[in-house]
Amino acid sequence: MLLAVLSGFILAACAPWLTRLLGDRAGWVLALLPAALFVYFLSWIPLTAGGAAEVVHYSWIPGLDINLSFLVDGLSLLFALLISGIGTFIIIYSGGYLHGHEYLPRFYGIMFAFMAAMLGVVLSNNIISLFVFWELTSITSYLLIGFNHEDKQARWCALQGLFVTVAGGLALLAGLIMLAGAGGSFELSELLNSGDVLRDYPLYTGMLILILFGTFTKSAQVPFHFWLPNAMAAPTPVSAYLHSATMVKAGIYLMARLNPGLGGTDQWLYTLGLFGAVTMFTGSFMALRSTDVKAMLAYSTIMALGTLTMLIGIGTEAAIIAALAFLLAHALYKAALFMLAGGLDHETGTKNILNMGGLRRLMPVSFITACVAALSLAGLPPLFGFIAKELMFEATLHAPAIATVTTVLAVISAIMIMAVAALFALRPYTGKLKETPKQPHEAPPSMLAGPVVLAALSLVFGVAGFLPVQGILHSAVAAVHGSPLEFKLYLWHGVNTPLLLSLLAVVTGLLVFAGWDRVLAVYRRLTFIDRFGPERGYERVMAALVWVAEWQTRVLQNGYMRNYLITILLTAVALAGGTFFIYTGNTVPFGTVDITFYEAVIAALIIAGAIVVSLMQSRLGAVATVGMVGFGVALIYVLFSAPDLAITQIMVETLTVILLVLVLYRLPRFLNLSSTAARIRDALVALLFGGMMTVLILAVLDVEVVAPISDQLVAWSYDEGHGRNIVNVILVDFRALDTLGEIFVVGLAAIGVYAMIRLRAEDKRS
């Protein structure tokens, strides 16, 4: 199982080389991997019969409870079969569609990585490894959507898809971590058995919102649906794959998967049911508005995703059966239709349905296939899509609490989708032949294999409903429901409400089809859709992001050193001074300090020096006054009997003053550029900081130290360190490493200065 999931990644790494090696046959040969995977997954079907589940476990990062454990049951197998089965045809199809494209080698690489990631999503038992694969689908689909990357529009669309799905992904991550916390495990197989615990979790609603944010963005539910039609910037094989069996179905998969654990609550019913219904309506409404064949199909995908979400939300037995049947039906016809749309585009050079017509003689196979697949989309007998739609009506009619809304929206959607299906199947092929950018002829076999097989399956499953049921749907329904259900799928259920609703939808839909040109004219007047849709919201957010970023950078990183210094000093005052204030309050923590006469005089000198230096208008005077402060410090050393320190200090001060004077001599005249207000502000900051330091030092002096290490150092100095001067012994023995470090500091400074003087880029250029 591990190999099955990861083989796609391995092949992704070699696909570019293989493609070059194999040339024209690459598509057919590379398709062997997904085909083999399909057969492999088929072999698992007997093991999952009757709703049995199997967990295959591989350790990955056990310390973090992240493992490559796989859950094989009807639901994951259904998805795995769709991914590998449709994937096989997509790979073959790509070879024809992108024939001779310079990027075909890397295209296959990314495609296989994407396929493997999808398989990982649907098969993972560990929710974190599920998330890992989930994010990988986002990244790889980004690379696929932006495949024509020198086109600005494609880059923009790719970013949009990525941003929306990753934003949802991050919420999902938080939700999944909460889920694991609530259920006490990271393994789906254990979590799904503790549904009662999960539903009683105090933060259930928050957790649900986070998880649904992830699944809604991924599965393009309103109001996040806008990225999906834009994702058609991808080459058609990618769209066909993303829309039919993969990417957008990942969210549906996760909701179906979590149904036994999280479903059955009011929150679940209303959120999924209503968002799904609205999405279903929006998708079909927008599909009817489109003239681009790919856009039509993309919006009809949104319709399907909404339907699935709604059905999972309703969550009754009928709804779950309907959801899985619909899922299968949709995957089959949508992949076929997209590949046919790609064929039209490929052969005629246009995607606009208004510019096509009369192609039935030139592309007969495409025409027949399109009719079959579109019948399934429209939900007409004897196709499998019909069974799915009947089940869907059945489920909405008996939905708890929201039956009216869902049924009404479902019927309206069905009407519009009926019209769209008729448009897609008839408009390009019937009527008079129209002039197109390319001379059309039938698509090559590589591009017809998929549509023909998939459309045929739609037909076979429709006539022989027991095939998919016994094969996989039965165990898939068991997985979503939590326990096995007995059901059978037939075309004919007798005359009942769903059938009448279907009839209504078909008739009205055909009328809409007949009057489509007038419908389009009405649509054109509805410009508010473009002006106020959620896509505008996305654009606003992105623009605001850049605006805030630029504003913040102007304010914070403003380029003025003085502002930086002030900010840092005030932060220090706020944190240290504030803390001091909080902890000591108004009580003064330090006692009285005995000050001798000499100390007072020296302190006064130093303070006076500091004040004078900040008021001084001449540089020379300022330097001299700074010297006064330094010599004052040296005097303090003398007072406390540290003559060597005092000597050092005096030497340093003298040298500094001399050097500074030498430098100042070469500088331009002193200019006072600060306003008075700025100077007062600076003075306040300085006083605050200085005052805080003084208080801190006084407070620390008051702390009684029991046995400072200096006592021991004094004791050791002569006997062990062999020196009478304790300071010297500390410098060269006790703490010699410090001294060594400081010697290097001086050396480094010398190198720096030398380089600064000798290596000047400006000189070199002139």
Partner 1 sequence: MNPDVALPVLIPFIAGALSLVFYRSLSVQRWIGILGTGALLVASIYLLYMTYTQGIRVMAMGEWAAPFGIVLVADLLGAIMTVLAAILGFAVAVYSLATISRDNIAYGHFPLIHLLLAGVCGAFLTGDIFNLYVWVEVLLVSSFALLILGGERAQMEGAIKYVTLNLLSSILLLVAVGLTYGMTGTLNMADLVGKLAAVENQGLVTVIAMLFLVSFGIKSAAFPLFFWLPASYHTPPVAVSALFAGLLTKVGVYALFRFFTLLFDHDVGYTHEILLWMAGFTMITGVLGAAAQYEIRRILSFHIVSQIGYMIMGLALFTPLALIGGVFYIMHHIIVKANLFLVGGVVYFLRGSYDLKQIGGLWREKPWLGLLFLVPALSLAGVPPLSGFFGKFIIIRAGIEQQSWGIVAVALVVGLLTLYSMIKIWAEAFWKAQPEAHAERAAQFTAALPTRSLVLMLMPISALALLTLFIGIGAQPVYELASAAAEQMQNPQIYVQAVLGDSQ
Q: Which of residues 670-689 bind partner 1 (CB under 8 A)?
A: none
Piece in contact with partner 1 (CB under 8 A), picked from 42-50, 331-339, 544-552, 639-647: 544-552
> Residue 696, interface with partner 1 (CB under 8 A)?
yes
Q: Which two tokens stand for residue 551?
A: 């504003």
Site for partner 1 in 321-380 (CB under 8 A): none
Q: Is 237 left (phi over 0), alpha (psi -120 to 50) or beta?
A: alpha
Distance of alpha carbon 370 from alpha carbon 376, whole angstroms: 10
Q: Which two tokens stand for residue 518?
A: 């007038």
> Residue 544, interface with partner 1 (CB under 8 A)?
no
161 or 260: whose CB is closer to partner 1? Answer: 161
160 or 413: whose CB is closer to partner 1? Answer: 160
> Residue 719, interface with partner 1 (CB under 8 A)?
no
Piece in contact with partner 1 (CB under 8 A), picked from 87-95, 187-195, 385-393, 576-584: 576-584
> Residue 735, interface with partner 1 (CB under 8 A)?
yes
Piece in contact with partner 1 (CB under 8 A), picked from 147-155, 216-224, 294-302, 345-353: 147-155
> Residue 490, interface with partner 1 (CB under 8 A)?
no
To partner 1, the closest distance from the beta carbon of 606 in angstroms equals 17
Alpha helices in 219-349 (DSSP H): 227-230, 236-244, 248-262, 266-289, 293-314, 317-348
Nearest to 301 by CA among 402, 371, 210, 231: 231
483 or 712: whose CB is closer to partner 1? Answer: 712
> Residue 64, interface with partner 1 (CB under 8 A)?
yes
Q: How many residues does the chain have?
A: 766
Distances in Å between the alpha carbon of 382 and those of 301, 448, 459?
22, 22, 7
152 or 361: whose CB is closer to partner 1? Answer: 152
Helix (H, G, I), strand (E, B) or coil at 176: helix
What is the radius of gyration, based on Cα positions, of the chain? 38
Piece in contact with partner 1 (CB under 8 A), picked from 47-55, 503-511, 608-616, 751-759: 751-759
> Residue 178, interface with partner 1 (CB under 8 A)?
yes
To partner 1, the closest distance from the beta carbon of 525 in angstroms equals 36
To partner 1, the closest distance from the beta carbon of 95 in angstroms equals 20
Q: Please select the residue that binds partner 1; options are 21, 32, 47, 61, rule is CB under 8 A.
A: 61
Helix (H, G, I), strand (E, B) or coil at 617: coil
To partner 1, the closest distance from the beta carbon of 80 in angstroms equals 20
Piece in contact with partner 1 (CB under 8 A), picked from 17-25, 291-299, 417-425, 565-573: 565-573
First to last CA, the chain: 68
> Residue 146, interface with partner 1 (CB under 8 A)?
yes
Q: Please select the residue that binds partner 1; options are 153, 567, 654, 674, rule is CB under 8 A.
A: 567
Q: Please select the residue that binds partner 1; options are 190, 317, 599, 733, rule is CB under 8 A.
A: 733
Site for partner 1 in 587-626 (CB under 8 A): 589
To partner 1, the closest distance from the beta carbon of 613 in angstroms equals 17
Piece in contact with partner 1 (CB under 8 A), picked from 325-333, 486-494, 607-615, 706-714: 706-714
The dihedral sign for the CA sequence 234, 235, 236, 242: negative
Distance of alpha carbon 289 from alpha carbon 280, whole angstroms: 15
61 or 514: whose CB is closer to partner 1? Answer: 61
Piece in contact with partner 1 (CB under 8 A), picked from 214-222, 435-443, 569-577, 664-672: 569-577
Piece in contact with partner 1 (CB under 8 A), picked from 59-67, 332-340, 511-519, 632-640: 59-67
Q: Is 50 left (phi over 0), alpha (psi -120 to 50) or beta?
A: left
Q: Please select the residue that binds partner 1; options are 706, 719, 724, 766, rule is CB under 8 A.
A: 706
Q: Cis (ω within 30 of 0) for the bond into 468?
A: no
Contacts of 249 (CB under 8 A, 6+ apart): 79, 82, 219, 305, 327, 331
131 or 226: whose CB is closer to partner 1? Answer: 131
Q: Please select the residue that binds partner 1; options are 675, 703, 719, 724, rule is CB under 8 A.
A: 703
Q: Please select the residue that binds partner 1; options are 710, 718, 722, 728, rule is CB under 8 A.
A: 710
To partner 1, the closest distance from the beta carbon of 349 in angstroms equals 23
Piece in contact with partner 1 (CB under 8 A), picked from 49-57, 224-232, 332-340, 709-717: 709-717
Cβ atoms within 10 Å, residue 358: 14
Long-range contacts of 633-640 (CB under 8 A, 24+ apart): 633/606, 635/602, 636/599, 636/602, 639/598, 639/599, 639/602
Distance of alpha carbon 424 from alpha carbon 298, whole angstroms: 12
> Residue 541, interface with partner 1 (CB under 8 A)?
no
CB distance 341 to 290 below 8 Å: no
Contacts of 217 (CB under 8 A, 6+ apart): 164, 165, 167, 168, 169, 224, 227, 251
> Residue 744, interface with partner 1 (CB under 8 A)?
yes
528 or 583: whose CB is closer to partner 1? Answer: 583
Piece in contact with partner 1 (CB under 8 A), picked from 21-29, 40-48, 298-306, 581-589: 581-589
> Residue 722, interface with partner 1 (CB under 8 A)?
no
Piece in contact with partner 1 (CB under 8 A), picked from 322-330, 411-419, 430-438, 563-571: 563-571
To partner 1, the closest distance from the beta carbon of 442 in angstroms equals 33
678 or 736: whose CB is closer to partner 1? Answer: 736
To partner 1, the closest distance from the beta carbon of 145 in angstroms equals 12
662 or 706: whose CB is closer to partner 1? Answer: 706
The dihedral sign for the CA sequence 108, 451, 221, 394: negative
Distance of alpha carbon 519 from alpha carbon 515, whole angstroms: 6
Phi, psi (degrees; rounded to nearest 5) at 343: -60, -45
Site string for partner 1, 80-119 (x = CB under 8 A): --------------------------x-------------
> Residue 153, interface with partner 1 (CB under 8 A)?
no
Q: Which two tokens stand for residue 162?
A: 């990525």
> Residue 167, interface with partner 1 (CB under 8 A)?
yes
Distance of alpha carbon 49 from alpha carbon 61, whole angstroms: 32
Distance of alpha carbon 260 from alpha carbon 255, whole angstroms: 10
Tell how strand 66-72 and strand 54-61 pair up.
Answer: antiparallel
To partner 1, the closest distance from the beta carbon of 761 in angstroms equals 4
Task: Please report where in the chains the tokens 């009926």 appear, as a residue.
Answer: 418
Q: Which helix (H) or strand (E) holds 761?
A: helix 761-765
Q: How many residues bind partner 1 (CB under 8 A)?
A: 100
Amino acid present at 456:
A
CB distance 346 to 94 below 8 Å: no
216 or 333: whose CB is closer to partner 1? Answer: 216
> Residue 539, interface with partner 1 (CB under 8 A)?
no
Distance of alpha carbon 669 from alpha carbon 659, whole angstroms: 18
> Residue 173, interface with partner 1 (CB under 8 A)?
yes
CB distance 390 to 493 below 8 Å: yes
Q: Please select the residue that binds partner 1; options are 83, 116, 127, 128, rule is CB under 8 A.
A: 128
> Residue 755, interface with partner 1 (CB under 8 A)?
yes
